[in-house]
Amino acid sequence: MAGFIHWLQSTAGGLITLCSAAIAVLLFLIIKVKLEPFISLIVSGLLLALAAGLPASKIIGSALSGKDSLLETGFGGILGHVAAIIGLGSFLAALLQASGGADVLTHRLLSVFGEGRAALATGLAGLIFGTPVFFDIGIFVLAPLIYVVARQTGKSMLFYALPLLAGLSMAHAFLPPHPGAVAIASLLGVDLGWLIAMGLLCGLPSFVLAGIVWPAWIGKRIMVQVPDGFAQPEEASAGDPALGGRNPVPLSTVMLIICTPLVLILGATFGTVLLDKNATLLPYLVFFGNPVVALVLACILGIRFLGTQRGMTKAQLAEIGAAALRPVGMILLVVGAGAFFGSVIAATGVGAVLAKSLASAGLPLVVMGYVISGGLRLAQGSATVAIVTTGGILAPLVKNGSFSQPHLALIAVAVAAGSIVASHVNDGGFWIVSRYFNISVKDTLRTWTVLETILSVTAFAASAGLSLLL
């Protein structure tokens, strides 16, 4: 028995076996036991740490050691980086939703592109509006407009719903301030500006295939009607000021608030690359391009132009903020627990073992990240859990290598791409799509699941191809 324990804790095969067993326990707790993901991640991490023979003082700390524990560094290390970004992004999204900014954006796109290109308009609406808001919020806000367009044209709702979903999913997977993108950037040490650049570079072709080409083909083969009981188009328009009533939000205001943080973050990233380090402008670009500062400025603009200027009271703004931040707590717990799980994996030394194995096998990290993330996604459904767990496994491998920021961003994109592959019945997003767009389970598998797979595989192919050039 002692020999077996020594093999587990000190050999390459034993460490890999321990890591695999810990992931299996994690999946069992989430899938079979139905335990909350953040609790499952903590339990799995603690069991792995004990099985690997790590001292208790290193796992949970002690008053005598005076050193931070894996629990503290795992949770605190990543939450100190992502908590403010996710919270600010959630508040900004709530302002856009409450003010009717999303409705304005979609209605204007539809009027510009016309009925013949309505699918492209809804896809762009999902992509633009999906940048600052969570996936499910985007569906809740924009679904009624999809109903209106589908009722007006008489076509299958898939023509307009799938492009919208592709845009929302692409933004949610690859762009900050969404939790998965922010978490993987922190775990791998990727500058958010580079992640935005590579996320767009890999994600836009994926959006075209999954959100334009695929809906145009499948929409002709599966008819999905607007849900019964939905209001007629004229009734919806009459009661919604964003669709032509009094005092709609100007589109320029909506675009200003959405684009401000992206432009500032990108300005800081490329300013550090293109400008001399002694340039007078560079410190200002770096300061205002900090993700937290950029989002604070966007929120201030939102409070002013979407809130107080349009008659919102302080109490209403406080209520919007409180409602927006309630679900953030669970997201942050999952992200923090995933980082703890990853820190335990790193502490066991399995990262160094995997690094040697990958080096001997010649398997690039961009491929490894996609495979691990995709496997976790298929098994337990949560994209965030897949991302933070994969990031924890890859983090020590990244530190042992010499990767440029663009290359690290491409690895992050590959991990994010794996986290959205083949959404099926264990994914909450699957049921949201099925419910809100009146699609049967069978047809949701034939449409939404395929869409997510196209989006995933295409983005991975793009990231893998670009990584070969760096």
Q: Domain ranges for the chain, please list them.
A: 35-45+70-467
Q: How far apart are CA 429 and CA 381, in angstroms?
A: 9
CA neighbor of 391 nearest in space, from 452, 345, 427, 458? 345
Asked if 254 contacts 129 with a C-beta cutoff of 8 angstroms, the reply is no
Instruction: Give CA–CA dist 28/40, Å, rounded.
Output: 9
CB 93 within 8 A of CB 136: no
Q: Quick one: DSSP state of residue 281?
A: T
Residue 40 has φ and ψ, to the nearest 5°, of -60, -40
d(CA 385, CA 342): 11
In whole angstroms, give the CA distance from residue 240 to residue 234: 10
Q: Tokens standing for 195? A: 């992640």
CB atoms within 10 A of CB 433: 26
pLDDT given for residue 284 in this prediction = 92
Query: According to the model, what pLDDT value does residue 184 have?
Result: 93
**Buried b / exposed e along 385-401 (16+ C-beta atoms within 10 A):** bbbbbbbbbbbbbbeee
Contact 182, 82 (CB under 8 A): yes
- Give me the amino acid identity at 423: S
User: What is the structure's pLDDT at 245?
Assistant: 44
Predicted pLDDT of residue 445: 92
Distances (CA, A) of 175 to 204, 218, 342, 376: 11, 27, 22, 21
Spans of the chain below 50 pLDDT: 63-64, 66, 231-246
- Backbone dihedral angles phi then psi of residue 463, each to the nearest 5 degrees: -65, -40
What's the pLDDT at 242? 40
Contact partners, residue 21, CB within 8 Å, separation at least 6? 48, 51
SS3 at position 66:
coil
CA atoms of 325 and 340, how far apart (whole Å): 23
pLDDT per residue over 341-364, tens digit each?
877 877 887 766 665 665 566 678
Residue 243, pLDDT score: 39
Max CA pair span of the chain: 78
Name the 3-class secondary structure at 245.
coil
Is-contact 230 438, C-beta < 8 A? no
